Copies of this chain bind each other. A is one copy, B any other.
Amino acid sequence: MSTVEHSVVTAVQEVAVKAREASYDLAVATRTVKDAALLAMADALLASTDSILAGNAEDVARAEANGTSPNIIDRLRLDPERLEGMAQGLRDVAGLPDPVGEVVRGSTLANGLELRQVRVPFGVIGMIYEARPNVTVDAAGICLKSGNAVLLRGSSNARSSNAAIVEALRGAVVASGLPADAVQMVPGETHDSVKALMRARGLVDLLIPRGGAGLINSVVTESIVPVIETGVGNCHVYVDAAADLEKALAIVMNSKTQRNSVCNAAESLLVHEDVASEFLPRVVEALQGAGVTIHGDEHFADFDGVLPVTEEDYAEEFLAARIAAKVVVDVEEAIAHVRRYSSGHTDAIVTEDMAASRRFVAAVDSAAVAVNASTRFTDGGEFGFGAEIGISTQKLHARGPMGLPEMTSTKYVVVGDGHVR
């Protein structure tokens, strides 16, 4: 604790205590009240367009002055259309079922005791995230609907945008009869405020980091508050001996090139040796035609423009127009390669062979395993969850896209009539 500024710790604890108080009211708020608040938040966001865009212009100007990279500035920049998208996201969340109160299982025990396991909010959730201001709105909406108070620790890059957004949202929350402290920004602009959040065990129930591998890794290793790890995706497509090569080509191209900066994009291609001579020329031409640089093993060496692949390439989440590529002797070598290098996000097999499919699905331990489908489908929207706070790549509590039910815990309610043991 010695390395963290004392005043920052105090300030973070103060907002966490206020969040805890707010969480008591939120936990018992009805769906009717919460949905009205979400719609009011959407309206307030649009009504505050001028102040939010003014704050955002400050952030963008500061980022440009600091020489921030253009793609980060693009993610930071807001316009009326993006604000409308954020407001629509809140309305969509209002339309989703309330997870709180859902009876997960229940029974009457032999002695007549009634037992119900019921979904309840976590209480206070801390979000630690990077530049995009839309995460501020998404997180506030999803946490409110699931009955959780949220502590938002966005990037200092986006501080003016986030401050204007949170001010608008809090006004709408209060006007709806819920406590303003259901939605709070974490004070402090240095990393000390993140550290203070990671030490706030007992005040904060759950931390969700969203951002690059460096941010996520530091939260996962340093936090004593429970963490759900999100997002790093080193995804594989394995083209089996029994693959339909038309489907394989479409799936490889979609997985790699439909959008290459996202966690569910493919980063590695594995091809069974039996189909290599037929498939390699086609896939190399298609990938290179789409501007993708191939880092290939010796089987790819004869193709112009292919770079030799390294161990580091196999392990890297490129998030760019690059792919590692390797020929394997069988499905077992493909599985062994995936076990070694996959980040456990999404790995796909393309095959018409039931046995190969069953083996790959059983042996590959990732959040999602796809058969004859693009890795790009691992997404809360595609899965029909309606809202997504992130994609968990760890195994505790939630794995894969996290929607509203994943933002809850459960408790057992035991009802008797004077029962004793």
Contacts and interface: CB of A to CB of B under 8 A. Distances in A.
A395 B365 contact: no
Interface string A353-391: 000000001110111111111101110001110000000
Contact of A395 (B117, B205, B246, B400): B205
Interface in A82-116: 107, 109-110, 113, 115
Given A221-B201, A224-B220, A369 B414 contact: yes
A102 to B, nearest CB: 12
Contacts of A378: 412, 414
B419 A244 contact: no
Interface size for chain A: under 10, 10 to 19, 20 to 34, or 35 or more residues?
A: 35 or more
A258 interface: yes
Nearest to A369: B413
A421 B414 CA distance: 46
Interface in A189-236: 201, 205-206, 220-221, 224, 226, 228
B412 A383 contact: yes
Specify how many copies of this chain sit in the oligomer.
Answer: 2
A412 B251 contact: no
B251 A414 contact: no
A254 B416 CA distance: 14
B372 A28 contact: no
B400 A411 contact: yes
B109 A383 contact: yes
Contacts of A205: 395
Contacts of A109: 382-384
A27 interface: yes
Given A377-B421, A396-B409, A421-B377, A415 B365 contact: no
A55 interface: no
A123 interface: yes
A67 interface: no
23 contacts: A24-B363, A27-B362, A123-B395, A206-B395, A247-B418, A250-B418, A251-B418, A254-B421, A258-B421, A366-B411, A369-B411, A370-B416, A371-B416, A372-B415, A373-B414, A373-B418, A373-B420, A374-B420, A377-B419, A377-B421, A395-B409, A399-B410, A400-B412
Given A115-B384, A377-B421, 4 more contacts: A27-B365, A226-B226, A365-B411, A377-B416
Closest 3 CB pairs of A and B: A373-B416, A247-B418, A254-B420
